[in-house]
Amino acid sequence: MKNGASAHRVFWPLAIAWVTLDYLTKRLAERELVPVPPVEVIGDWLRLRLVYNPGAAFGLHLGPYSRWIFLVIATAAVIGIAWRARQPDWGEWLRQIAAALVVGGAAGNLIDRIRGSQGVVDFIDVGIGVTRYPTFNVADIGVSCGAVALAISFWLEDTRRARESKTAKA
């Protein structure tokens, strides 16, 4: 399943597409939505509601310097993962796609932090009644799904190496 040269070609187009999708949906949310009342899409289960998050995921806030701390963390993540994705040992398709989603999502939220002090634009609200998941955006989907996919790709690699080691010893 390793085809490094062709797998590496998917990273930047997918990362850029994810940033673009995130940017466009956030600007649309800012133009069309107001914080209250939320717009019901699928009953109470899926709603659209404009929220500005000055902290990080799940409302994590580090005081008055949150914007700058998370800006530095996101910048380091984008640069570090993009650099790592270029390496030959990251040439597997799943890892390239996962890394692109993480970089695209982190860059999308980074753009909001650079744009202003209000915070990251969140607008996807899921839950039932008063039991709601924290409001999120397309960038958050990329970071979350990409992180899970990265973990799976590392697990698959470890499993393959263990199997190869066991076969070599036999």
pLDDT of residue 5: 67
pLDDT of residue 82: 96
The secondary structure of residue 54, as a DSSP letter, is S
Would residue 44 show up in a list of annotated catalytic residues for this protein?
no
Q: Of 44-58, 59-73, 84-98, 156-170, which has the strongest mean pLDDT?
A: 84-98
pLDDT of residue 3: 55
pLDDT of residue 8: 86
Q: Pull the structure tokens for residue 67.
A: 């914007």
| pTM of the entire predicted model | 0.88
22, 112, 122, 125: the active-site residue: 122
Residue 22 scores a pLDDT above 70: yes
pLDDT of residue 65: 80
Would residue 140 show up in a list of annotated catalytic residues for this protein?
yes
46-53 and 131-132 as β-strands: parallel, antiparallel, unpaired?
unpaired
119 in the Ramachandran plot: left (φ > 0), alpha (ψ -120 to 50) or beta?
left
22, 112, 125, 140: the active-site residue: 140
> What dihedral do alpha carbons 111, 113, 119, 125 form, nearest 10°?
40
The secondary structure of residue 1, as a DSSP letter, is -
pLDDT in tens, 43-69: 999 999 999 998 776 666 677 788 888
* Burial environment of residue 54 by CB neighbours within 10 A (0 to 12, 13 to 18, 19 or more): middle
